[in-house]
Amino acid sequence: MTLKVYLSGEIHTDWREQIVEGAKALDVEFSAPVTDHDASDDCGVAILGTEENKYWHDHKGAMVNAIRTRKGIAEADVVVVRFGEKYRQWNAAFDAGYAAALGKSLIILQLPEHDHALKEVDAAALAVAREPVQVVEILRYVLTGKLPG
C-alpha cells in the first residue's frame, strides 16, 4: 500500500522536510505546492505577461498555482495542513475545506493557541498534531501498524 500525502500550508519553516525525512523508510509519495514564495507570487506574470493592476498580477499567479495544488489534493489519500505562527494563512484553511469536501483524510498540524480559531477545521479532521514527528508516526502506524517507542 502506497500512501499519497499532500503537504499544504505554511512555507516558512522546514516542517515538510522533517516529515519527508522522517518517513523516508515508508511507502509514501509526497506532494506539495511550490514553496518558493517569490516564484509562487510571480508565476502568472512571469509566464503569461505583466499586469499593471496588482490584483490581476496576483490572480494570474494564483490560478497557475491552482493547477498544481488541485491535482495534489485530488490525488492524495491524506492531506496534512500546517498552520504556522504568522500570516493569515487563508490558503491553508481553503485547502483544508477543499480536501474535506472531497472526503480526504485530513491531519491538521497546529499550535495550541490556535485551537479555538481552528475548531471548525479540526471538526473535519481525523487527527490534530502539534509536531511534524507526530505526522510521521501517524503515517508509519497507518502503513505498518507500528506505534512509536
Positions 16 through 45 that interact with a copy of itself (CB under 8 A): 31, 34-36, 39, 42-44
The reply on whether position 102 binds a copy of itself by CB under 8 A is yes
Instruction: Look at strands 105-109 and 78-82 and give their pairing.
Output: parallel
Q: Of 23 and 72, which has the nearer Cβ to a copy of itself?
A: 72
The reply on whether position 147 binds a copy of itself by CB under 8 A is yes
The reply on whether position 88 binds a copy of itself by CB under 8 A is yes
Q: Which long-range contacts (CB under 8 A, 24 or more apart) does 124-129 make?
A: 124/96, 124/97, 124/100, 125/96
Return the residue of 61, 82, 109, 132 that touches a copy of itself, per CB under 8 A: 61
Return the residue of 7, 11, 23, 64 that touches a copy of itself, per CB under 8 A: 64
**Separation CA 117–CA 115 (nearest Å):** 6
Q: How far is the CB of 3 from a copy of itself (least distance, A)?
A: 7
Q: How far is the CB of 70 from a copy of itself (least distance, A)?
A: 6
Return the residue of 48, 50, 85, 111 that touches a copy of itself, per CB under 8 A: 48
**Separation CA 71–CA 66 (nearest Å):** 8
Q: What is the 3-state secondary structure of 70-110?
A: HHHHHHCCEEEEECCCCCCCHHHHHHHHHHHHCCCEEEEEC
